[in-house]
Every structure is written in structure tokens, then in C-alpha cells.
Amino acid sequence: MAFELFVNGTLMRGLALHENLQDAEFMGEFTTTPTYRLYSIGDVHPGMFAVEAGGVAVAGEMYRMSDETWKQVEDGEPPNLYCGPVTLDDGSTVNGILFPQDIAEKSHLDISDFGDWRAYMASKK
């Protein structure tokens, strides 16, 4: 059975964990509705979560994969990341990689104004 996943961090093309998607089909670049906050988790990966107010649109990529590839992706994710519903700007709801809001807000940097992990990382150079 095929599993579709929106990713917005190190699983994207050219980034650290993209090799975990080597058997997945790239479906294109997508953007969420402006209902999310984005945090840098130690400058290692982003953490995204939904909010009721004050959200931004977040850029990412969509992939279709087998259950086996999904298991590999899931097993390779950093701590606290989890799969949950993400709403794209076309109104569709898909699986995405999310991070607990309470952990992000407690001790990590809010990078929501960038709306894009790549843009944030480029700003650090």
C-alpha cells in the first residue's frame, strides 16, 4: 500500500536524511496553509506544529512510498518527531512530520518567519 508524506526538513532533496527516501517517488514541492509554526531544533532539524492563530505557511516536498520505505523513514527520524495531519494550501490534508509544540516553545528557536528550513539554514551562512 502506498504511503504519502509531506516533509519540510532534513528529508528534503539534498539534505541530511534524504537518502531515507531513496525508494520513494517525489511528487513535487508543496506549501501548507498558514496555520503552522516552525522551530529550529538545535539547528539539526525543524519542528513544525499547527496553531489556531499566528501561523505561517511552510514550504516542503511530498513523497509517495511503500510501507517498507515509510518504516525506514520513521525509524530514522530524530527524537520527538511524529507523523500527523498537515493541511496543504490546496485544502487537502496529508500525512506530515510534526513536532510537539510544548517542547519546541520551551527551549528552541522560532524560525516561523522563514517558513522554510532551507531558507533558515541559508541565513546562517
* CATH (domain of 62): 3.10.490.10
- Can you give the pTM of this predicted structure? 0.95
User: Which domain does 67 fall in, by range?
Assistant: 3-123
Query: Which spans in the chain are helix H?
Result: 67-76, 101-107, 117-123
pLDDT by residue for the chain (125 residues), tens only, comes to: 689 999 999 999 999 999 999 999 999 999 999 999 999 999 999 999 999 999 999 999 999 999 999 999 999 899 999 999 999 999 999 999 999 999 999 999 999 999 999 999 999 98
How many folded domains does the chain comprise? Answer: 1
